[in-house]
Structure 1
Amino acid sequence: MPSIGVVGAGAAAAAATFVIEQTVGDAEVTVLEKSGGLCGRAATRRRGPVTYDYGANYVKDDDPRVTELLTETLDSDGLVDTAGPIYAYEADGEIHEGRDSDDHKWSYEAGLTQIAKRLLGETDATVHRRTRVETVHREGEQWRLTDTDGETWGPFDVLLLNPPAPQTAQLLRDAEWDADLREDLVAAVDAVPYRSVWTAVLHYPFELDRPYYAVINTDKDHEIGWLSREECKPGHVPDGESLLIVQAGQDWSEEYYERDAEDNVAELIDLTAELLDDDRLREPDWTDHQGWRYAIPDGAVQKGPVESAAEEFGLYCVGDWIPGEGRVHAALRNGLETGEKLAYRL
């Protein structure tokens, strides 16, 4: 019976686990997730009757295989299509028509975290939340993991690492693993560039009338990089209310990432009111926030060392940073493909 360890329960890890369990019937999969949730940056929160995706905004239909997974393979009950186009603006804040509005922008009535919940729910994998892996060990032909509480997990015949590239690089850098490949692998993973995103969530007890679902800053020269209306997702926001997801641009996010959260939210409230030219938006009735230190990869990993680690040691890296496209569908596709490679190996 092959034993497989998975660090992180993001979309890619969930997809890989799903494929493994579907194709390798006797596999024993253990998933260790540092947070209390699933699906990584495809994250969802709820407050009363309001549901909101505060990290990734939706799943695009850019990949036929992922589309089939969500609409046919998995239970599609509650899968919803976001209504409205995406408009654009530049540094001057002048909003104009932008992207084609015919693309599907999927979420769920219960939020994007449903992706990992449904994938893992179709498996017999054991998922341990609030378990942060601190050290990776190579013992003979197998892997062991030690968490921050000192508990050891394994042994595993195969290991999947799903954290963002900088965190994966740190795990590999600190690993108790004597291999000539390790230095090249750490360098390759550590070289993947990342953008930080600081997000404010603003709720209003009135309906905001706009012809778009979201607006995006195309020249990357505005303090706000993205702003979307969660009420455009069926089942997320009650009628007569509005919820804005305001994601600061890269430069702003990096400059103010460590600043007091209340100050960040207050500034983003004012910037939102100015961008949408509506002073009512200066007084939300409640707010939320989240900083994403490693939000979006800006490039793909060098494939050679990653593929060699998988082939020689059964060590697989998964995530949207492998193809270098910070999209949920890219993470899912990578997970599906990695799961197939691993199943073939077993």
Structure 2
Amino acid sequence: MTRIGVVGAGAAAAAATYVLDGAVPSAEVTVLEKSRGVCGRAATRRRGDVTYDYGANYVKSDDDRVVELLTETLDSEGLVDASEPIYTFDAEGSVSEGRDADDHKWSYRAGLTQIAKRLLGETGATVENSTRAETLVRDGDQWRVVDTDGGEWGPFDALLLNPPAPQSAELLRDAEWESEARRDLAEAAEAVPYRTIWTAVLGYEFELDRPYYALVNPDRDHQIGWIAREECKAGHVPDGESVLVVQANPEWSVERYDDDPAENVAELADLSADVLGDERLADPEWTDHQGWRYALPDEGVRRGAVDGVADADLYPLGDWVAGEARLHAALRNGLDTSERVAYALE
């Protein structure tokens, strides 16, 4: 039997687990996930009849293999497309049609977490939620993982590492593994720059009539970076209601990250009302919020540092390895990485 460990249950890890389950029939895959859910920043919450994606907003159709995965390989029931375009706004909040919309902006009626749920559900993998990896241990030619409660997992013949680069760097620095390759990857991962994003979700009991799905501030010179209308995704918001997912820009997010959430939400609601030109939006019926300290990598990790640990059967994966802060890029990286793992294990 081949035993494979996966730290983190993000989109890349889910895609990799899906491929390995078929490509290595003898594999027993164990996924250790610190949270109670799966799919990382492609996160979904529900509030009564409302469903909203409050991290990543959708999957672009920019990769043929990912398109095939979502529309043909996996069950596509419930796959929805926000067909309205994406407009832009500037530092003064003036809106224009300044950006072409992506060809497809996919989610699911039940939200983006369906991606990982469907991928993992097709496998025989064991997913251990609420299990935070603390120490990676290299024993001879195998791996063990010790969690924060002292539990031990493994031994594993290969280990996939899916947390954001800063958290992966911390695991690598503290790993019980004397290796120059480990130190090199830890330094390279630590050097990956990340954007912090603080998000407010604003719910209203009235319809918001606009010709666009979302607004983006491409120059990053407004306190808000992104406003999306969740009602543009079929099945997410009941008729007659509106839900905005509002992402503050990175500078505002860092400055206000630990401030009172209610005050942050109120300020983002006021700013959204100003950008959308509707004073009603300053007074939502209900709200939610989430801080993403490591939301989006602005660069990819140095490729040589990633390749350097493969001889020890350690495989980082995710958008920070792909070098593009997009959900489709993370999925594709998971597919590609798992094929490298399968080939090495053969």
TM-score for the superposition, normalised by structure 2: 0.99
Q: Deviations over 1:87-116 (max 9, x none)?
A: 001101100113223610000000000000
Q: For 1:160-175, what aligned pairs fall within 5 Å after superposition?
A: 160-175=160-175
Q: Does 1:216 align with 2:216?
A: yes
Aligned residue-pair number? 345
Q: Which residue of 1 aligns with 2:338?
A: 339
Q: Which residue of 1 aligns with 2:315?
A: 316
Q: Which residue of 2 aligns with 1:226?
A: 226
Q: Deviations over 1:117-147 (max 9, x none)?
A: 0000110000010111111111111110111
Q: Deviations over 1:272-311 (max 9, x none)?
A: 111111111111110000000000000011011211101x
- SS at the partner of 2:5? strand
Q: Which residue of 1 aligns with 2:27?
A: 27
Tell me, in whole angstroms, the C-alpha distance in 2 between the residues paired with 1:162 and 1:134. 14
Q: Which residue of 2 aligns with 1:101?
A: 101
- SS at the partner of 1:321? helix
8 Å contact kept, 2:60–2:102: no
- Shift, 1:260, TM fit: 1.2
Identity of aligned residues (%): 68
- Shift, 1:83, TM fit: 2.6
Root-mean-square deviation (Å): 0.7
Q: Which residue of 2 aligns with 1:67?
A: 67
Structure 2 letter corresponding to 1:331 = A
- Shift, 1:262, TM fit: 1.0
Structure 1 letter corresponding to 2:3 = S
Q: Which residue of 2 aligns with 1:89?
A: 89
Q: Does 1:48 align with 2:52?
A: no
Tell me, in whole angstroms, the C-alpha distance in 1 between the residues paired with 2:326 and 2:4. 26
Tell me, in whole angstroms, the C-alpha distance in 2 between the residues paired with 1:205 and 1:151. 47
Q: For 1:1-346, what aligned pairs fall within 5 Å after superposition?
A: 1-101=1-101, 103-310=103-310, 312-346=311-345
Tell me, in whole angstroms, the C-alpha distance in 2 between the residues paired with 1:118 and 1:99. 32
Which structure 2 segments of 5+ residues have no match? none
Structure 2 letter corresponding to 1:71 = T
Structure 2 letter corresponding to 1:222 = H
Structure 2 letter corresponding to 1:66 = V
Tell me, in whole angstroms, the C-alpha distance in 2 between the residues paired with 1:296 and 1:237. 27
Which structure 1 segments of 5+ residues have no match? none
- Shift, 1:184, TM fit: 1.0
8 Å contact kept, 2:273–2:279: yes
Structure 1 letter corresponding to 2:340 = K
Tell me, in whole angstroms, the C-alpha distance in 2 between the residues paired with 1:216 and 1:43. 20
Structure 1 letter corresponding to 2:150 = G
- Shift, 1:33, TM fit: 0.3
- SS at the partner of 1:301? coil
**Bigger mean CA deviation after superposition, 48-57 or 263-272:** 263-272
